[in-house]
Structure 1
Amino acid sequence: MSPWRALARLARYKLWLYLASGLLASVMFYLIPLLPGLVMRRFFDRLVGKVPESADWVLALLVGIAVARAAQLMAAGLAENSLRIVAATLVRANLLERILQRPGARALPSSPGEALSRFRDDVEAVVNFLSWTLDPLGQVIVVATAVGVLARAYPGFTLAVFVPLVAVLAVVNLATRRLRAYRRASREAAGAVSDLLGEALGAVTAIQVAGAEPAVVARLRSLNAARRNTALKDQLLGATLGGLAHNAASIGTAALLLVAAQSMRTGGFSVGDFALFVSYMDWIANVVGMFGFYLTQYRQTGVSLERLADLMAGAPPADLVRHRPVYLWGAPPPPMPAPEPGPPLQSLAVEGLTYRHPGAERGVDGVTFTLRRGSFTVIAGEVGAGKTTLLRALLGLVPPDAGTVRWNGAALGDPAAFLVPPRCAYTPQVPRLFSESLRENILLGLPVDAADLATALHAAVLEDDVAGFPAGLDTQLGPRGTRLSGGQLQRVAAARMFVRDPDLLVFDDLSSALDVDTEARLWERVFARGGATCLVVSHRRAALRRADEILLLDGGRIVARGRLDDLLAASPLMRRLISPR
């Protein structure tokens, strides 16, 4: 979708607001400053006696124009900022919806820091330009009006003073392509800095343990140097073009003085005429400068729209500006209810599930198995065998290349949308907690009156830990749960699953940070939940001993399956996995 089509679609979202902003901020904004020039010509001619008229009316007109200008600027600011807020909300809502629709493991095509940069800076660039799209209309009207007034009386002078302005406009237009390249490089460099800062702040412990602080600081300095250089080029070229445009008025004034000096001496060109020329020339120079700025911003808006389209990751470009309700005034609608659970799980069948990581041969290939209600199935294998990838493909967190997932015999068209609470809940290998209270991290928006927190805490073997926390369930966990131990973090994630009481529990190496006693109690309490069906990635003996079936993966394929004792007798790989380390 071209930038103009995208902007036109945004403009139609609140057409009345767009037109009000255009009239006040793009037409009246440019026209009103022409009026003082006419008044000043009369005023100066009155001073030299050419027009025998009281100066009181002249001063009254100037005051009236100033009051009208102030009112126009206030109304324009209100309309323009309202338009920007509404349009930015619409674009960001569409972006967020698309990101949440994407497979969970590949929701962002770039880093979180880069995505935040696009959400903030690129959306702001697009909506700012949207509010300026009618500026050329006002600029054409004011230039035509001013040049018409001047050329009708002084055609030779008009030509002499406006040629420099036209030349400046041509120079600015020629330089916009280079400015666009500089802006793209500047945005990408800023995104790289944001990305590194986000990753470093989220991995402080890992950096400290590795003694990598000097390397991280050196990398940050390198990225900052690149960002500084690209920003300098961007700002320098933009300022140079802006300076050329805005200083064109001074060039035009000098040309006017040279051309009109003799006429002013003979009386053919009055002081009032000179005041009118200077007034119009100064404003026209500003208008030309604004038009040059408009052209540069159009190029930069194209860059921003391309970067935002990348975040849409395969969706039609028009979806970026798709019309939808935005709730900036009044109460928002109630949140969507959780999906109806439907018939309880009796069987989950996976048939020929295949997924390959982009640009690599690793993944899972042709995996087939069936889970029965109440069963406990463990996926085991060496590092890199495809265990986590299998869970992600099954749950729709990555898009499978082939295969079918069936719930009670019915094929799932969109596993990611179907396999959610209360049907299914999943705890990844590295659970994600938020910088909120323990209660909020477990509920994640679930109404308190609809949740059995005490039962969930007991099932996750977390009740004693909560009793020891200074504020109990209201204890703040810090960024990503940094105030918790690894085992506590995993059990909080488990409690988040249990409080939703799903039919199917999917754990990715849940007990890896638990001691033997805590792990044993956790599995006992899981089994005490009637009808719980579990799919677990684990190499721990406690889980393997309890398994109704173990799926042994190697190279992305199931190479053996069965109970632990049978696999130990038949599979060297199984014996190697469970041997003491």
Structure 2
Amino acid sequence: MNPISIWHSLWQLIRYNQRLYWADTILWLFIAGLPALPGLIIREFFNALTNESSFLLSIWGWIALFLGIGLARIVAIFTGCITKTQHRFTMSSLIRHNLLMGLMNRPGAEPLTDRGNSDRSVSPGAIISFFRDDAYQLENNVVFTNEIFGEAVFAVGSLVLLLSINAQITLLVFLPLILIIIILQRISDRLKLYRRASRQATQQVTSMVGEMFSAVQAIKVANAEESVLARLRQTCDRRQQLMVRDRLLTAILESSFENLVSIGTGVILLFAAWLMRSPNDSLSVGDLALFIYYLSYITNFFAFGGEFLAQTKQSEVSLERMAGLIDSEGSGITAHHRLYLKPIAKQTPKLPRIQSLPLLESDRLQDLLALNLTYCYPGTNRGITDVSLRLRRGSFTVITGQVGSGKTTLLRVLMGLLPMQSGEIYWNGQKVNNPSQFFAPPRSAYTPQVPQLFSNTLRENILLGLEKSNEELEMAIALAVFDRDLATMPNGLNTPIGVKGMRLSGGQLQRAATARMLIRQPDLLVFDDLSSALDVETEQKLWSRLFSIHSANPNWTPTYLVVSHRRSVLDCSDRIILLDRGRVEMTGTFDDLPSTYF
């Protein structure tokens, strides 16, 4: 990634909510600037002791001055807590919003990969570290910018003031800065390497924890609890080592910067004391006190600046990781979007209802043509190559072939769930430029081999926010041959089905997903091995009801595209596409299938 990208990204985050940022910056200037006033007071106090100043105050006057400055600083700090909290929240919300939006815009079936890490696959559990650790790193870096800005303003002011007192001593202040720059230059690559390794180790732990929770049954059936836990301990131990190495390097850098500054300060003060003993020098006691007081502003800025540059190097790693996850430039992570930050409701809100708008007659499927569709999975030679197909309105097309021949891949590429690497798709003669958005209800609906249901009621899983009457819902359930199963459930449609539909059998999952398709009345019904978990009787009844849709509802003439191996399904098809190793081996009818197929 271009090193300028991190600075551009930080600037994008600053610009997103400029009012909060600059309000926080002004407050920080106020917080950092108020302690500068006692320096001038201290100078006059010491000069007054040596009769070099006429600025005289009573003891209560000095106390009142210091108390006033302290109280003003307390008010500024409490006000700054409000602005900083709001600023942090909006920044982290924007980063996480863009990260989530980038993930949601990816093709649905494309595996999650970290393109910044040799296209290594990323499990859903590992995504937590991107949303938590990497987003927090960028958030901290932006907050650091207004603090470093405030430090810089008073460091420059202090530098000008100290130069007016004694230029020779002041120039010695830059010695620690030179050493800090040299150290950062030498260690910046190692800093990024350690941070990347610690982030990846955290990602592996969260990934394994997520996989363990999703595969509890498989672990228990295999009696593999001890081995899985041993593997988890090993992964955690490695993360601990890498995190300690990363934190240790960061702590060593911070302490080195502070020690360099402290040593440099000591050398400067020794030199100043030596000058005071010189009869030719005009450095007064008050000047020395002022010099000691304001010297910390400059030296602390150097230490602060070193930490900021080190943190920026670490933020580069976080930006690269997040951009690699959603396959975008760093600007995609910090792009400006409106955030809807509403107060938390006292009660769990219901899903918003979506009105189903029917297709215009001109948009209804008459002819679907796919030409030379090609997709190859990264790092393999598996996929599909130059596959073409044509669907007519009301037709029943079956895609078949051996395991691994590319049947599911073809459906996913056609539906936009995988990005086609070449090819064209036409709907009624009009080219489809974005299949993932085009092939959605009411144009088409798709049920994969393993349908995904949510931990909610059966009603909500079928409707997913769609506004439909109970009669329409019951009709879709009956078409999916799910009515008898529903009658045995004590709460009917209000039955909670558990995480991923764990309370339903495999066949019930498929028929619930089928009802979810049918309630939307799409023109194109796409099934990936629908009958794989059904018994013969249920399968025959399901297809019989699906084929009777047009006679029951003349306004709905669905077109079917089905993946299946079942002879009964192949026998009633209008057209069969036989795939072999990702290519079309034969297109025809049931009678055209080679005798060796069965």
> Which TM-score bucket, shorter chain as reference?
0.7 to 0.9
Q: Does 1:196 align with 2:208?
A: yes
Query: Counterpart in 2 of 1:341?
Result: 359
Query: Counterpart in 2 of 1:297?
Result: 311
Distance 2:464 2:438 in 1: 19
Letter in structure 1 aligned against 2:71: V
The question of whether the paired residues in 2 share the 8 Å contact of 1:424 and 1:506 is answered with: yes
Distance 1:294 1:426 in 2: 50
Q: Does 1:55 align with 2:69?
A: no
| Residue of 508, 514, 532 corresponding to 1:488 | 508
Letter in structure 2 aligned against 1:126: L
In structure 1, list runs of 5 or more residues that go unmatched: 576-581
The question of whether the paired residues in 1 share the 8 Å contact of 2:176 and 2:264 is answered with: yes
Distance 2:468 2:84 in 1: 42
Letter in structure 2 aligned against 1:12: R
Query: Counterpart in 2 of 1:106?
Result: 110
Query: Counterpart in 2 of 1:240?
Result: 252
With structure 1 as the length reference, what TM-score do the two structures score? Answer: 0.86
Letter in structure 1 aligned against 2:252: T
Q: Which segment drifts farther, 373-382 or 206-215?
A: 206-215
TM-superposition CA deviations, 1:436-475 (whole Å, max 9, x none): 3322222223235599322222222223333433543333
* Cα gap change, 1:66 to 1:165, in 2 (>3 Å): farther
| Residue of 432, 437, 454 corresponding to 2:452 | 432
Query: Counterpart in 2 of 1:462?
Result: 482
Query: Counterpart in 1 of 2:339?
Result: 326
Query: Counterpart in 2 of 1:423?
Result: 443
Q: Which segment drifts farther, 215-224 or 442-451?
A: 442-451
Letter in structure 1 aligned against 2:539: E
| Residue of 59, 83, 86 corresponding to 1:79 | 83
Task: Measure how far apart 1:297 and its partner are.
Answer: 1.2
SS at match of 2:456: coil
| Residue of 393, 409, 416 corresponding to 2:413 | 393
Letter in structure 2 aligned against 1:292: G
Q: Does 1:502 align with 2:525?
A: no
SS at match of 1:348: strand
| Residue of 54, 65, 69 corresponding to 2:73 | 69
* Cα gap change, 1:532 to 1:239, in 2 (>3 Å): same
Task: Measure how far apart 1:105 and its partner are.
Answer: 1.3
Letter in structure 1 aligned against 2:141: F
* Cα gap change, 1:258 to 1:521, in 2 (>3 Å): same
TM-superposition CA deviations, 1:115-147 (whole Å, max 9, x none): 332233222222332233344432222223334
* Cα gap change, 1:319 to 1:449, in 2 (>3 Å): farther
The question of whether the paired residues in 2 share the 8 Å contact of 1:165 and 1:252 is answered with: no
Distance 2:252 2:330 in 1: 34
TM-superposition CA deviations, 1:411-438 (whole Å, max 9, x none): 3222222111011000111212222332
With structure 2 as the length reference, what TM-score do the two structures score? Answer: 0.84
In structure 2, list runs of 5 or more residues that go unmatched: 115-121, 345-351, 551-556
Q: Which segment drifts farther, 278-287 or 179-188?
A: 278-287
Distance 1:526 1:439 in 2: 21
Distance 2:512 2:440 in 1: 18
Distance 1:451 1:115 in 2: 41
TM-superposition CA deviations, 1:499-558 (whole Å, max 9, x none): 211111111112211222222222222222222322111123442343233322222233
Distance 1:458 1:557 in 2: 37
Letter in structure 1 aligned against 2:59: A
Task: Measure how far apart 1:492 and its partner are.
Answer: 2.0
* Cα gap change, 1:409 to 1:157, in 2 (>3 Å): closer
SS at match of 2:145: coil
Query: Counterpart in 2 of 1:578?
Result: none
Distance 1:552 1:317 in 2: 44
SS at match of 2:370: strand
Q: How does 1:198-347 map to 2 (within 5 A)?
A: 198-247=210-259, 251=263, 255=267, 276=290, 279-282=293-296, 284-313=298-327, 315=328, 317-328=330-341, 341-342=359-360, 343-347=363-367
Distance 2:300 2:472 in 1: 66
